[in-house]
Structure 1
């Protein structure tokens, strides 16, 4: 849950930044959000969640 909340926050910030520099229009952001919502209700959701958890664990193990 923590990884998915972090991913949502990061992706939200990325969308906000793209809107801010006018690279992404509001219609594009709504389309991205709708697509994400629809993907979350499909059979692909567990795969996406597993990948996000794996990436989060990998990033958590990195030491700088």
Structure 2
């Protein structure tokens, strides 16, 4: 768990700086994909899925 969490933090920081500098090359896309896969393996995955589901549900009721 500690290794995956530190990997998520490092990839998140790298992705933040790539997006902040507007440099999303193929290597940046790889970092983004790795960040997503690592984030999905942490304990935050159910919370993220619930948040996305509630946002989608809210948007379906608006329109």
Q: Normalization by structure 2: what TM-score?
A: 0.61
Aligned length: 41
Displaced runs of 4 or more, over 2 A: none
Give me the whole-angstrom Cα distance separating, in 1, the residues matched to 2:25 and 2:34.
14
Q: Of the two structures, which has the highest relative contact order with CA contacts closer than 8 Å and spacing of 6 or more?
A: 1
Aligned-pair distance for 1:24? 1.8
Counterpart in the other structure of 1:40: 40
- Trace 1:51-62 onto structure 2 (pairs within 5 A): 51-62=51-62
Give unpaired runs (5+ residues) of structure 2.
1-22
Give me the whole-angstrom Cα distance separating, in 1, the residues matched to 2:35 and 2:60.
28
Q: Normalization by structure 1: what TM-score?
A: 0.60
Give unpaired runs (5+ residues) of structure 1.
1-22
